[in-house]
């Protein structure tokens, strides 16, 4: 699994004019990509990493502050544009594999005590955020 994690001061996901997920104030916006060999165990490891990642103000984590997370599925994180000008998506897991694993990341975060908002899997989403810092990291588990 791969995640792009941004420290934010508010973020939202809009689908067809409707806000489907939103966090206000300090938190994390997490774009999650799934590949073919990912497992529920990897989803658990990613959730634990996100919950304890010390990138908020004063090197604190969501577990320290109770800051919310906005988790958005993004298959394009496994795009490969090394050859030519058109990316391939062969490394991205198909929806029936990816969707349950993204949901598992969210479920594991909630089990840890996190407040989690989400996008809508497979939808055309408009993601808006205020990147605080800017601060962005890439995680792989």
**Residues annotated catalytic, as ranges:** 74-76
Contact assessment for residue 139 and residue 93, using Cβ atoms and an 8 Å cutoff: no
The CA distance from 68 to 102, in Å, is 17
Interatomic CA distance for residues 38 and 1, integer angstroms: 6
The answer to whether 98 and 89 have CB atoms below 8 angstroms apart is: no
Q: Which two tokens stand for residue 21?
A: 């997920």
Q: What does residue 126 show for φ and ψ, rounded to 5 degrees?
A: -110, 115
Going by C-alpha positions, the residue among 68, 63, 51 that lies closest to residue 10 is 68
């Amino acid at each position: 699994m791969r995640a792009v994690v941004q420290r934010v001061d508010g973020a939202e996901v809009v689908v067809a004019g409707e806000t489907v997920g939103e966090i206000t104030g300090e938190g994390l916006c997490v774009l999650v990509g799934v590949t073919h060999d990912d497992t529920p165990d990897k989803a658990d490891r990613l959730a634990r990493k996100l919950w304890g990642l010390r990138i908020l103000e004063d090197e604190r984590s969501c577990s320290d502050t109770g800051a919310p997370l906005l988790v958005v599925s993004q298959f394009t994180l496994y795009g490969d544009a090394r050859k030519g000008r058109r990316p391939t998506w062969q490394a991205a897991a198909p929806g029936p594999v990816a969707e349950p694993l993204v949901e598992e990341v969210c479920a594991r975060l909630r089990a840890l005590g996190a407040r989690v908002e989400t996008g809508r899997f497979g939808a055309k989403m408009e993601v808006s955020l205020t990147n605080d810092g800017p601060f962005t990291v890439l995680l792989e588990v």
